[in-house]
Amino acid sequence: MSTDLALRRALVREIAAGGALGDPALRAAFEDVPRHLFVPYYYEGAPGGHVRLWGEDPDPGRRARWLTGAYADAPLGTRMRDGDLVSSSSQPSLMARMLQALELDDGDRVLEIGAGTGYNAALLCHRLGEDRVTTVDLEPEITEAARAHLATAGYRPAVITGDGARGAPARAPFDKIVATCTVGSVPHDWLAQCRPAALVLTPLATGLIRLRVTRPGRAEGRFLHTPAYFVPLRGSAPGALPGPPVEGPARDAASNELFRFLLQLTAGSLDPYAAYELWRREERPRRERFGVTVEDGAQWAWLDDPQGPHTWPLRGAPFSPGAR
């Protein structure tokens, strides 16, 4: 057995042990698609900065280190700008949980927002067929690299350079839309390109919101329990707001990951003290108690009930039902 195959199988066993990959067809995708082809080089943290590991390194020890790292259940920094990491390949177990949450069925047409290295698109191609997969990214450098990586692995889905907030109207309609970048609110064009009952899964705040399209222009759903940290969507959609300054009693709570999620979700709508009082009264609610509704251009987040007392507009939303 080749080294990369042994490492790949070990990674799949680790992901499956964590509760993902219950779909045998999705597990087969992770077993068959070689991740190292999508990260021919990546950056690893080192004292004073980062070190670049790559598959063509003349030093055999560093090549082995690169290959082992490519099959670690960890995100990998793939692009740097001015000394800062600006792009990465997501943690494989998080990718598996996201793809599992999409409830993929044979025949589904999927739009991916954020091409990244192309690895996620390759997994989708394996599961559904390359003709049913579209991936979009704003930067030509990213789409060119993703297209090359996919071709090397034997896949040729539609790879489009464009504003991810606009979707891919020429390839619509879609049964599933998955984003690998954070949004401040759900782009209208995504829902317009969905079939009835489609699923949309996107990072929002520091969580993953899964929306079911119930009719044209309307979708609703709850957050998954999984925390998720992604770079913001670049383009015409509103990005996530920075976390507000936290003072007073809320400052101590700001170290709690779930409270930070609530701060992000309510940024621009609730001041941090109001968010803290809600969090305290509701006994530190977990992500699954929160949801989002999109209806004819309006968007609001809520706790427990879309029409209940605890609602607030997402960024760019014209109203909250609690303010009607």
Please say whether the beta carbons of 175 and 198 come within 8 A: yes
Angle, alpha carbons 116-267-139 (nearest 5°): 20
Provide DSSP, 57-113. -SSHHHHHHHHHHHTSSS-EEEEEETTEEEEEEPPHHHHHHHHHHTT--TT--EEEE
Rounded distance, CA 200 to CA 217, Å?
13
Catalytic annotation, residues = 90
Burial class (CB in 10 A: 0-12, 13-18, 19+), 104: buried
Block residue for tokens 């067809």:
25
- Helix (H), strand (E) counts: the chain: 10, 14
Give 319's DSSP letter. Answer: -
Block residue for tokens 């609730």:
270
Please say whether the beta carbons of 264 and 279 come within 8 A: no
Helix H or strand E segment including 15: helix 3-17
Give how far Cα 65 sits from Cα of 6, 57, 68, 73, Å.
Answer: 15, 10, 5, 14
